[in-house]
Amino acid sequence: MKSFSFQKIIWAVAVLSSYWASAEMDIKQIGNHRLEMNPYQWAMIDRLFAPQEALDLTTSYPHDHYKTVDGYDGEKGYQYEVRSLIPMGEKKISFPKALSPSWIGLANDLLSDEYRRAMSELTGIDLSNAPMEVNLFHYGKGAWMGPHVDLKEKIVTHVLYFNSEWDLKHGGCLAILNSKNMDDYAYLIPPIVGNSSVLVRSNSSWHAVLPIAKDCKSSRRSMTVTFYHPHSVSTMWPPHERPKLHDYRP
């Protein structure tokens, strides 16, 4: 009979406890919210986490299994680090042994039928059978995401933020744009834990992430939950890609 290390037993108990614990996220906040209609359909939803849950999620924000993404795709420039949390269309959690119980709990919230129903109620779109993908991001010094509308394969994206504090002079806000001009913004959303943004994809849903200042001492930490049209393929993690993953250290 194989023996298990004490550390593995502790980890297993912690993971199981997260399944039985109360939800990390206040999902009712989502379903009870209303979409803004200008400049397109979007929402800013805050207070998604109670203080203790917010503290646990920010202090244990993952630093493992990232790849660097840097380039220009013909529409936008971009630079950031990304880690999978839930692969496209799957019910499993990526690299669960590296996650804290709070992050396992949050991932299970996202996989729940309750979360899908809340997002459907908010957007008025039936997302019950839409493939979902969840990714985590670090935006370090100089990182950014230029003005763009999401790919046509995407239906709705929910972006959650995990910085315990943030100085607006360091950039990093999500800009809800009136046009493809980075300076033509209707609203800025700071990346503070508990804040989140919902974007309903359209041909006019322009948005961007403002560049992170060179003197910023913390990464901008966010998570995107994206619902896709059936039969879509992940562009973040193409099936043929075999990236070399690394720990992220600012």
Q: What is the pLDDT of residues 90-118, one digit of tens each?
A: 999 999 999 999 999 999 999 999 999 99
Res. 11 pLDDT band, cuts 50 70 90:
very low
Determine which helix (DSSP H) or strand (DSSP E) holds 64, and give its type and residue range.
none
Element (H, E) at 76: none
CA neighbor of 28 nearest in space, from 117, 129, 158, 118: 118
Residues 149, 125: Cα–Cα separation, whole Å: 19
- Across the range 31-37, mean pLDDT stands at 95
d(C-alpha 114, C-alpha 123), whole Å: 14
98 CA to centre of own chain: 17
Q: Is residue 50 scored above 80 in pLDDT?
A: yes
Residues 228/230/231/237 CA torsion (nearest 10 deg): 20
Instruction: Write the burial class of residue 97 (CB in 10 Å: 0-12 exposed, 13-18 middle, 19+ buried).
Output: exposed
pLDDT at 3 over 80: no
How much is the pLDDT for 15?
43
Torsion angle defined by CA atoms of residues 187, 115, 61 and 148, in that order, rounded to the nearest 10 degrees:
-40
Model confidence at 72, pLDDT cuts 50, 70, 90, reads low
Q: What confidence score (pLDDT) does residue 18 get?
A: 40
pLDDT of 61 above 70: yes
Question: What percent of the chain shows pLDDT beyond 70?
Answer: 88
Please state the rounded mean pLDDT for residues 3-11: 44
**How far from chain centre, in Å, is Cα 226?**
8
Region 156-180 average pLDDT: 97
- Supply the pLDDT for residue 71: 76
Q: How many residues does the chain have?
A: 250
Q: Does domain 6-228 have CATH number 2.60.120.620?
A: yes
Would the pTM of this model clear 0.85, i.e. be above it?
Answer: yes
Angle between helix 6-20 and helix 101-110 axes, rounded to 10 deg = 40
pLDDT band at 186 (very low <50, low <70, confident <90, very high): very high
Q: Is the peptide bond before 230 cis (omega within 30 degrees of 0)?
A: no
The 10s digit of each residue's pLDDT in 193-218 is 999 999 999 999 999 999 999 999 99
**Measured between alpha carbons, how far is 230 from 141 in angstroms, rounded to an integer?**
36
Q: Where are the domains of the chain?
A: 6-228
Residues 178/185, Cβ–Cβ less than 8 Å: yes
What was the pLDDT predicted at 74? Answer: 58
